[in-house]
Chain A
Amino acid sequence: MNLTLRIWRQSGPDSAGRMTEYDVRDISPEMSFLEMLDTLNEELILRGEEPVAFDHDCREGICGACGMVINGEAHGPERTTTCQLHMRHFDDGDTIDIEPWRASAFPVVKDLVVDRTAFDRIIGSGGYITAPTGSAPEAHATPVPKPAADTAFEHAECIGCGACVAACPNGSAMLFTSAKVVHLNSLPQGAPERESRVLDMVGQMDDEGFGGCTNTGECATACPKGIPLFSITKMNREFVRAARKA
């Protein structure tokens, strides 16, 4: 299939960017979206032009690196990561708009690459448990009730790709932060830091300049891992509880 791509090109953090049009030919429907971009980049390199910069790593939907907004939707039309999005979801002759995540807390580094270290700092402020490292603990030493394990697993699926922030009209990181808070606060291992975790992670999230939640729900719709909107509800509950106890 032949496609027209309109891609955000921006040479550096402080330079102005703009949408630039490219034609790509003979794209196979079996290709992933990133392979389609590889094809474009090979051609650009042959022509002596600057290839399009985009983030990627695992290409199997688990690292969360490959974020971009495709036709106005984070990771494109399917509920998956861009690396797992296949070209069969597009038609021959389509024009596809490709833009970077837009949020003031995620400044553009180059083209489609944004700086997502704000997420790392949110994790650093409380997204961990305090446990001695070394030899693995005995698995049955700390019993975990089945419902708690299920909740923790559901939320542990978050890969920190940032699609929630990109999709939110307020550039809010509530879904990401709540996935981490609910994951750890559901488990007995996370109990010692239950209050400080939610207070500190929400505090760091605010300090990074993410917007607040207006319960629009765009985040949960865009999430490739299906983190539910109720995750935010739960974090709100945890936050008010922790504030009362503090």
Chain B
Amino acid sequence: MAYRVHTVVPMAVDTRTDRRPSSYAGILWHSTVGKKTAMAVSGIVMLLYLVAHMLGNLKIFFGAAEFDGYAHWLRTIGEPFLHHEWFLWIARVVLLAAVVVHAVAAYQLSRRDIAARPQKYVHKKPRASYATRTMRWGGIILGLFIVWHILDLTTLTVNPRAEAGHPYANVVATFSTWYGNVIYIVAMLALGLHIRHGFWSAAQTLGANRPGRDRTLKAIANLLALVLTLGFIAVPVSVMTGVVS
């Protein structure tokens, strides 16, 4: 850590215009503030998807025919304007882009944050809430879960039953294994914590928070986290307890 000596502090003469990227996206991606904006937007895209996904999953409580029928319908959305499964593929591309932007920005910002505080304080004090401190680890757990989840129920590569076109049976098969339940439930708890801090944090990042809205936003964040976690976990718990079989 060298002592940098700067005797002259440049004032107005030193404009930074020459070093600034020229496009909107460029300005955003090349600054910590803008990169965080990309994280917030991609996070909210994923969050909206998860709300729909969770509600769809609950159809499992109405039986195999309705659940499998729902899964089939997902492939027909937009027809006849869109070809079979096109809507699904568009959604997949958007979600993949959101995950990639979110994870790359998280990685780059986290590396920078850690480098900015190389030396810890000797005297530790309890810091920040649980949800805030678990964003990075929680994010890594979610990233690994997404990979496993796709291999399990989309490509059926690791699914114990792996019957294409019969999602109900495949879901029941996954949650009939102990590891299927553990992976899923741990990931959903991580998701709850991630959203608890993430939703409010995104409102901060996007400049949407105000003193008068802060409590409401925090309440919505807690509600979203709770409803999503419970809604998702309801499925493995029901398979385990035999409510769904």
Q: Which residues of B contact A12 (CB under 8 A)?
A: 3
Taking beta carbons and an 8 Å cutoff, which residues of A are in contact with B? 6, 8, 12-14, 19, 69, 71-73, 97, 99, 102-105, 107-109, 115, 117, 120-121, 123-125, 128, 130, 168-172, 174, 196, 199-200, 202-206, 209-218, 228-230, 232-240, 243-244, 246
Which of A109, A117, A212, A232 is B35 in contact with, Cβ under 8 Å? A212
User: Once the chains bind, are B204 and A102 in contact (CB under 8 Å)?
Assistant: no
5 A–B contacts, CB within 8 A, in A order = A170-B112, A200-B17, A203-B16, A211-B112, A213-B205
User: Once the chains bind, are B33 and A102 in contact (CB under 8 Å)?
Assistant: no
Which residues of B from 202 to 226 have beta carbons under 8 Å from A? 204-211
Kindly report which residue of chain B lies nearest to residue A125, judged by CB atoms. B16
User: Once the chains bind, are B28 and A200 in contact (CB under 8 Å)?
Assistant: no
* The 6 A-B residue pairs with the shortest CB-CB distance in the complex, in nearest-first order: A237-B207, A211-B116, A170-B113, A72-B125, A212-B32, A13-B3
Of listed B36, B37, B197, B201, residue having the most chain A CB within 10 A: B36
Given the known interface contacts A108-B1, A209-B115, A212-B32, the answer about A199 and B211 at a Cβ–Cβ threshold of 8 Å is no
User: Once the chains bind, are B1 and A104 in contact (CB under 8 Å)?
Assistant: yes
B36 to chain A, nearest CB (A): 6
Kindly report which residue of chain A lies nearest to residue B33, judged by CB atoms. A239
Which of A69, A120, A202, A215 is B132 in contact with, Cβ under 8 Å? A215
Kindly report which residue of chain B lies nearest to residue A97, judged by CB atoms. B123
A170 CA / B133 CA spacing, docked (Å) = 12
A51 CA / B116 CA spacing, docked (Å) = 29
A13 CA / B112 CA spacing, docked (Å) = 22
Q: Which residues of A contact B120 (CB under 8 A)?
A: 102
Which of A115, A230, A239 is B31 in contact with, Cβ under 8 Å? A239
Q: Which of B6-14, B91-99, B180-188, B235-243 sits within the interface?
A: B6-14
Given the known interface contacts A97-B123, A215-B200, the answer about A244 and B116 at a Cβ–Cβ threshold of 8 Å is no
Consensus secondary structure, chain B interface: loop
Given the known interface contacts A232-B204, A236-B204, the answer about A213 and B20 at a Cβ–Cβ threshold of 8 Å is no
User: Once the chains bind, are A69 and B123 in contact (CB under 8 Å)?
Assistant: yes
Given the known interface contacts A200-B16, A240-B206, the answer about A170 and B122 at a Cβ–Cβ threshold of 8 Å is no
B59 to chain A, nearest CB (A): 35
A55 CA / B194 CA spacing, docked (Å) = 40
Which of A97, A117, A199, A206 is B9 in contact with, Cβ under 8 Å? A117
A97 CA / B135 CA spacing, docked (Å) = 29
Q: Which residues of B contact A19 (CB under 8 A)?
A: 122
Q: Which residues of B contact A213 (CB under 8 A)?
A: 32-33, 36, 204-205
Q: Which residues of A contact B211 (CB under 8 A)?
A: 228, 230
Given the known interface contacts A14-B2, A19-B122, A102-B121, the answer about A124 and B28 at a Cβ–Cβ threshold of 8 Å is no
Q: Which residues of A contact B27 (CB under 8 A)?
A: 199, 243, 246
User: Once the chains bind, are B2 and A104 in contact (CB under 8 Å)?
Assistant: no
Q: Does B109 contact A (CB under 8 A)?
A: yes
A187 to chain B, nearest CB (A): 17
Q: Which residues of A contact B205 (CB under 8 A)?
A: 213, 215, 236
Q: Does B80 contact A (CB under 8 A)?
A: no
A13 CA / B2 CA spacing, docked (Å) = 6
Given the known interface contacts A13-B3, A212-B32, A212-B113, the answer about A203 and B121 at a Cβ–Cβ threshold of 8 Å is no
Q: Which residues of B contact A107 (CB under 8 A)?
A: 1-4
A5 to chain B, nearest CB (A): 12
Q: Which residues of B contact A104 (CB under 8 A)?
A: 1, 115-118
Given the known interface contacts A170-B116, A170-B117, A199-B20, the answer about A109 and B3 at a Cβ–Cβ threshold of 8 Å is yes
Q: Does B179 contact A (CB under 8 A)?
A: no
Which residues of B from 19 to 57 have beta carbons under 8 Å from A? 19-20, 22, 24, 27-28, 31-37
User: Once the chains bind, are B128 and A217 in contact (CB under 8 Å)?
Assistant: yes
Which residues of B from 58 to 100 have beta carbons under 8 Å from A? none
Kindly report which residue of chain B lies nearest to residue A70, judged by CB atoms. B123
User: Once the chains bind, are A203 and B113 in contact (CB under 8 Å)?
Assistant: no
User: Once the chains bind, are B16 and A69 in contact (CB under 8 Å)?
Assistant: no
A120 CA / B5 CA spacing, docked (Å) = 12
A204 CA / B37 CA spacing, docked (Å) = 18
